[in-house]
Amino acid sequence: MVERTELIKEVTDSVIKVLSAYGIEISTDQHQTDIPISVSARHLHLSPEHVEYLFGKGYQLTPFKEISQPHQYACKEQVTISGPKGQIERVRVLGPSRGKTQVEVSKTDARVLGLQPPVRSSGDLADSSPVTITGPTGTVLKLSEGCIIADRHIHMTPADAAHYGVKDGDRTDVAIDGDKPGILKNVAIRVKDTYALDMHVDTDDGNAFLIEGSGRVRLLKKEEQQL
């Protein structure tokens, strides 16, 4: 992977050098720091077993539209999630199915439900919040754990990570411009070959910084990050 990254850098440097010879100057500052950001609304991932439990034996999730990560999609299927104080209807299922069922909500959603879900990385469900899921036919699935508030994170390929000088599991800060600019701290870096470069925040963060659907953020260099 190091050789591949070095080759990419050599090719990029060569292209910039050739363009410079023709009087075309290329600034790499934006590419070094500029990252797309998406606001992720409440949703859930279902295990194959729970897909069948909620929708019927042999049922297959129906793709509705693609989302930012390759081979992942929003489904036509929607459910109701419930807690001690209330419920939220028409919560979108994301596909494909996963090994464990996981419900992702914002803190605002959690207050409506009467839950206290922890802030966690995807898949880290041990001792997370219990939640009830009701399917379209009225089938009720009660989970003893599985509801979380997803932490802020950036998906990257290994080449992206090498370019930005970070690695899987790092925590960093990003700056958001716009009408309500600010800094989001403690953003998790997730690196995998199958990822596409994108930062994910929930609707509470999106509303706080007036991010509508998608936008771009600036990855802060170490010397820019605040204590």
- Per-residue pLDDT band for 27 (boundaries 50, 70, 90) equals very low
Q: Using CA atoms, how far apart are residues 114 and 19, in angstroms rounded to an integer?
A: 59
Report pTM. 0.82
Percent of the chain with pLDDT over 90: 77
- Per-residue pLDDT band for 13 (boundaries 50, 70, 90) equals low
Q: Does position 80 have pLDDT exceeding 70, yes or no?
A: yes
Q: Does position 26 have pLDDT exceeding 50, yes or no?
A: no
Q: What is the mean pLDDT of the chain?
A: 88
- Per-residue pLDDT band for 214 (boundaries 50, 70, 90) equals confident
pLDDT at 29: 45
- Per-residue pLDDT band for 147 (boundaries 50, 70, 90) equals very high
pLDDT at 5: 44
More confident residue, 21 or 190: 190
Q: Does position 2 have pLDDT exceeding 50, yes or no?
A: no
More confident residue, 31 or 89: 89
CATH of 29-38+152-221, one of 3.20.20.70, 3.30.360.10, 2.40.40.20, 3.40.50.1820: 2.40.40.20
Read off the pLDDT of residues 29-79 as tens digits, 9 standing for 90 and up: 444 568 999 999 999 999 999 999 999 999 999 999 999 999 999 999 999
pLDDT at 10: 64
- The structural domains of the chain, with segments of one domain joined by +, span 29-38+152-221, 41-150
Q: Does position 1 have pLDDT exceeding 50, yes or no?
A: no
Token pair for 170: 């790092």
